[in-house]
Amino acid sequence: MNKKFKIDPKYGLMIGVAFAQIVFGFSQNSGTEILSGLKSILTQPSSLISDYIGLGNMGAAFVNSGLVLLVLLLLLSFLKQELNGPLIAALFTIAGFAFFGKNLFNVWPILLGVYGYSIFKKEKFNKFLVAALFGTAMAPAISEIAFGSSLSLMVSLPLALFSGILLGFLIYPLAVSLINVHQGYNLYNIGFVVGMTGLVFVSILRSFGYVPTPKLIWTTGNNLVLGIYLITLFILILLYGFIMNNNSFRNVRKILGHSGKLMSDFIQLEGYGVTLINMGLVGLISVVYILLIQGDLNGPTIGGIFTVAGFGAFGKHPKNILPIFLGVLLGSLLKVFSINDPSIQLAALFGTALAPISGKFGWPWGVVAGFIHSSVVLNVGYLHGGFNLYNNGFSAGLVAAVLLPIIGMFSKSESTASTDKKS
């Protein structure tokens, strides 16, 4: 007898998101326009901030996101890898950053580098998948070396591939070591790792006379169409979670009780259905935040929104992200920048990497973390030349490292270095 073909619900969700991206993309541009846009996306430098909606077009940006996600799902399926909270967070993050920095060309050298490390350690590649997926934060370095220099493609392409493989090879051991700097209170640990690695990498490039060119491609005017799409998507995810959770919101309060400190796999801790509800909620909150501050829904902010939603399976929930938003908002009232400046919109969304601080030590410290982060993030991009897409993760690691000892002086909670019993 033939066995009935059955898709794992977790894979089903991600496949559904991938196809939603592609279908929406084709609703915005013709096939010819999308192919032309994809060519631009694949063959031009992608350092921060390169909005693929502007670099290519809206259809091409969405199709790129959907295709990158589908290809990675095929890879994970081939490896017979079960999806968990960290992997879903990584996949949503990649789908988001496929709107401004990652594409079907530049993610592979990093993945190959991590695979090479697994061979070197004589261990299964599966063990290193989370680091491999998040490690694609350095993907712009590959595009920059390949297409942003005056070298011929015969030289620049092999050099880009070699550099990407080398960077991928180093990701995992550095991630294991550097997590101690922020004690798990920066959810974007790989962003911190890649920031440190990028600092060294770009310093070496600069010493040979190469100076990365600052970039700002930032589209506006698409809030209505993108707002409708994103709100619909996250409502559907929430409803799917509601159904998977036996038509209830049971255990949502339990998720809100977790600090979110690494490693907090909400699927393992509370179940898949309620985790989807949480992902839908934090996704909706992020979209509404951008609309309320009269920001811009575009490639970079969609990247931030997707990342927040993905980490709704791995550390973020409404209770611990809202203080971060409030801290960045407060900063905009007192500092020289505006709340809807491009970098500050991203600081609020990606600054939720510090959500475990508010989850562990209370919302006032979350506000402080967001307030400080909004200043630090504006000054660290130069260090890695825009090659680290997780610039906010780098900043968040620095903020956590400095803030945690200060919190330890004043907080009545247990020591910051102790184990979080809830997570």
Question: Concatenated DSSP letters for 37-75?
Answer: HHHHHHTS---SSB-HHHHS-HHHHHHHHHHHHHHHHHH
Angstrom distance (rounded) from CA 312 to CA 355: 11
- Residue 327, pLDDT above cutoff 90: yes
- Residue 357, pLDDT above cutoff 50: yes
Residue 419's SS3 state is: coil
Other CB atoms within 10 A of residue 19 CB: 13
Highest mean pLDDT pick, 42-56, 147-161, 307-321: 307-321
- Residue 404, pLDDT above cutoff 70: yes
- pLDDT for residue 189: 83
Q: Report pLDDT digits (tens) over 104-134.
A: 999 999 999 999 999 999 999 999 999 999 9
Please tell me the number of Cα atoms within 13 Å of 219 on its side-chain side.
22
- 51 vs 395, more confident: 51
Confidence category of residue 296, pLDDT binned at 50, 70, 90:
very high
Which amino acid, 357?
A: I
Confidence category of residue 412, pLDDT binned at 50, 70, 90:
low
What are the residues facing 189 on neighbouring strands?
none
Confidence category of residue 160, pLDDT binned at 50, 70, 90:
very high
Spatial contact of 404 and 358, defined as CB atoms under 8 Å apart: no
- State mean pLDDT over 253-280: 94
Spatial contact of 299 and 100, defined as CB atoms under 8 Å apart: yes
The secondary structure of 305-366 as a DSSP string is HHHHHHGGGTT--HHHHHHHHHHHHHHHHHSSS-TTSHHHHHHHHHGGGGHHHHHHH-HHHH
- pLDDT for residue 197: 76
> In the chain, what percentage of residues exceed pLDDT 90?
66
| C-alpha torsion angle, residues 378, 382, 385, 391 (rounded to 10) | -30
- Residue 57, pLDDT above cutoff 70: yes
Angstrom distance (rounded) from CA 423 to CA 257: 9
Supply 373's token pair. Answer: 């982060």
- Residue 330, pLDDT above cutoff 90: yes
Supply 133's token pair. Answer: 């997926």
- Residue 26, pLDDT above cutoff 90: yes
SS3 track for 2-20: CCCCCCCHHHHHHHHHHHH
- 418 vs 142, more confident: 142
Confidence category of residue 415, pLDDT binned at 50, 70, 90:
very low
- State mean pLDDT over 230-236: 98
- Residue 151, pLDDT above cutoff 90: no
- pLDDT for residue 5: 54
- pLDDT for residue 414: 45
